[in-house]
Amino acid sequence: MSKTAAFTCQSCGAGVVINGGSGKCEYCGSTVSLPVETEDGDCTAAIPDKPKITGGRLVLKGRRIKSLNQIISLYSDNELEEVITLDLSGNLLESLEGIKRFKSVRVLCLNNNRLTSIDQLPESVGSLSVKGNLLGGFKSFSGFDHIVELDICNNGYEFLPELPPRLTRLDASNNSIECIESVAKYTSLNFINLNHNRMSCVPVLPPRPWNLMVYMEHNVFEYLDDVSIDNISCCEFKKTLFISLKNNSLCDFSSILRISFPTFGQIRDQQHDKGEENALSGYNENRFFHIHFDKSNETLTAERFDQELTAAEDGVHLKIYPDRPLHQGVQQEVVEAKPKRLNIPLMVLTGILASLTNVYLGYKFFNFMVESPGRFGWIRLMLTSAVIFSAGWIGVYISHLILRPNGIAKAIGFIFYAIPAAVLTGIMGPMAAVGLAIVLSILMLISILFSMDIFTYLCIGYSAVLVIIGSITIIVTANSLNDI
C-alpha cells in the first residue's frame, strides 16, 4: 500500500502531496522523495533530485546531508559553476571533499555541521561562515588568502586561530577565548566581534585602520589595565575607532580617561623621520575614538576639552577627538589672563539717566492717571508701575548713544537686543506694585485704627520705592546685557 504524505519542496518552498515514495512539485517541477531510514538508523531527509539554482543561489538547509557528493552528483560542471552563494547549514557534513567543484562560489555558509577542520576551499570564496561546528582545534585559516569575511563563532575556541591575511571582518563571538595578544598584522581588519568570550585585555590593534569597530561585550573586564590602555592609544586610526565594552564587570572607570592618542601633527612628524610620508594618506581632519560601556554609580567626568561624555539608555559613550587643538584648562588660563575692563563712565551715566527718566516719566504718568476721569483703581495702579519700571530704558539707550563706540549703530543693535529685557521689567512692575499695595493697605488700616493722617506720606513713599526698585532693576539688567 503506497504512502501518502504532505511535504515541503526544498527548491521553491511550496507544499507537495506525495503518493508512494516520491512525487513532483507542481510549481517548480522538482522531484521530492520521502525520508529514507539508513543502515545506522538515521532518517535522511529527502533531497530533490535536482534542486534549482536560483539567481546563483543554492540553499539546502537541514537536509541531514553527510557528503557533498549527494549534491554534486546531480549537476554538471557548468551548472556547479553557476553557484555564487552556497548554503549548507544544519547538515551532517564532516568533510568538504568535493567542495572545489563549486569553482565560482563566493559566499559559503557551512553553519551547524560537524566539521573539525577546513582543508580545502575554492579560491573564489570571499565570505566563509562556519559557526556552530567543531573547529576548536583547527589552528589556521592563513592559507585561504582569498577570504575577506570569516565567521567562526560558537566553535569552542580557546585561542584565536591564524587568520587569512586579507581579512576585513571577523566574528569570533561565543567561544572561550581568554587572551589575544595582537591582531596588528591583519592590517585590513575593520570589524572584530569578540562578544561572549573570556577576554580581560584589549589586544594590539591594526596600526592604521581607516574605520575599526571592536566588540568585546559580555567578557570579564573589571578595568582597563595598562596594557589595554597602551594597545588602544597606539592605534593611529585614520577616521574612527569604536570599542564596545558593554555588559562586562567594569568597576574602575578612571583608567579610561588615560587613553590618549597622538595628534595628526605628531604622526606626521614621526612618519617624516621614518621616511614614510605615504602612510599619511587618508587621515581624516575630524577623526574620533568612541568607547561604549555600561552605566555606573562612579562619577566619571571628561576633564579635557577634546572629550565628550554622554549618558544614554544603553550605557555611557565617551568620545575623544585627538586633533582638537585646545584643552579646557589652557582655555581657562587665557580667559583669566585677560579679564575685561569695566566701562565705568558708561555704567555711571546709565544709572543717572535711567533714574532721571524713571522719576520724570513716572511722575508725569502718575499725575495723568490721577487727574483722569474715574477712580484710580488696580488697573491704573498696574499701568503706572509698569511705566515706572520701563521708563528708565530710555535713559539706558541715550547713555549708549553718547558713550558707546560707533554710538548709533551699537545703540540701535542694543535696543533690539534689550527688547525682551525691557518687556520683562515692565511685567515685574505690576507684580512689585501689587506687593507694595498690599503693604500700603495694611499701613492705611493701622493709620485708621490709631487716627493717624499719613495717607500723603504713604503715597509718596510708595512711589519712591517703585522708582528705586525700577531704576535698580533696569541698571543691573542693562549692565549685564552690555557685559560691562
Query: In what order do the strands lie in the sheet containing 211-215?
Result: 57-59, 85-87, 107-109, 127-129, 149-151, 169-171, 191-193, 211-215, 240-244, 288-293, 315-320, 307-312
- Does pLDDT of 218 surpass 80? yes
Distance of CA 125 to the CA centre of its chain: 34
| 23 part of a folded domain | yes
pLDDT number for residue 295: 74
What average pLDDT does range 191-199 have in this prediction?
Answer: 96
What average pLDDT does range 5-20 have in this prediction?
Answer: 53
- Does pLDDT of 337 surpass 50? no
| 436 part of a folded domain | yes
- Does pLDDT of 221 surpass 60? yes
With CA atoms as reference, report the closest residue to 100 among 129, 74, 68.
68
Looking at every residue in the chain, the average pLDDT score rounds to 74
- Contact of 113 with 134, CB cutoff 8 Å: no
| 435 part of a folded domain | yes
Question: Cell digits for 371?
Answer: 487727574
Phi and psi of 194, rounded to 5°? -120, 25
- Does pLDDT of 192 surpass 60? yes
Percent of the chain with pLDDT over 90: 35
Look at strands 191-193 and 4-8 and give their pairing: unpaired
| 274 part of a folded domain | no
The contacts of residue 376 (CB under 8 Å, 6+ apart) are 369, 370
The contacts of residue 159 (CB under 8 Å, 6+ apart) are 177, 179
Rg of the Cα atoms in the chain: 41
- Does pLDDT of 452 surpass 70? no
- Contact of 393 with 422, CB cutoff 8 Å: yes
With CA atoms as reference, report the closest residue to 383 among 439, 426, 423.
426
**Band of pLDDT at residue 41, cut at 50, 70 and 90:** very low
**DSSP letter for each residue of 73-137:** TTS-HHHHTT-SEEE-TTS-----TTGGG-TT--EEE--SS--S------TT--EEE-TTSS-TT
| 132 part of a folded domain | no
| 248 part of a folded domain | no
Measure the CA–CA gap between 131 and 109, rounded to whole angstroms.
9
What average pLDDT does range 419-447 have in this prediction?
Answer: 59
pLDDT number for residue 437: 60
Question: Higher pLDDT residue, 18 or 168?
Answer: 168
- Does pLDDT of 326 surpass 50? no
**Band of pLDDT at residue 383, cut at 50, 70 and 90:** low
Could you report the per-residue pLDDT of 262-273, keeping only the tens digit for each?
887 788 777 777
Structural domains in the chain (count)? 2
**SS3 at position 413:** helix
| 240 part of a folded domain | no
Highest mean pLDDT among 20-34, 111-125, 346-360: 111-125
**Band of pLDDT at residue 256, cut at 50, 70 and 90:** confident
With CA atoms as reference, report the closest residue to 433 among 381, 360, 376, 372.
381
- Does pLDDT of 409 surpass 80? no
pLDDT number for residue 40: 44
What average pLDDT does range 329-348 have in this prediction?
Answer: 45
Q: How far is CA 319 from CA 115, 208, 242, 260, in A?
A: 42, 19, 9, 11
**SS3 at position 396:** helix
What average pLDDT does range 316-320 have in this prediction?
Answer: 82
Question: Cell digits for 236?
Answer: 593611529
pLDDT number for residue 433: 56
pLDDT number for residue 395: 54
Q: How far is CA 410 from CA 348, 416, 433, in A?
A: 18, 10, 33
Q: Which domain holds residue 468?
A: 341-481
Could you report the per-residue pLDDT of 386-398, keeping only the tens digit for each?
665 555 555 555 6
* Bridge partners, 162 (sequence order): 140
| 401 part of a folded domain | yes
pLDDT number for residue 334: 31
pLDDT number for residue 57: 94
pLDDT number for residue 164: 95
DSSP H helices in 323-376: 328-337, 344-371
pLDDT number for residue 255: 77
Question: Higher pLDDT residue, 262 or 136?
Answer: 136
What average pLDDT does range 434-455 have in this prediction?
Answer: 61
pLDDT number for residue 36: 43
CA angle 395, 400, 406 (to 5 degrees): 155
What average pLDDT does range 432-453 have in this prediction?
Answer: 62
- Does pLDDT of 373 surpass 90? no
pLDDT number for residue 43: 44
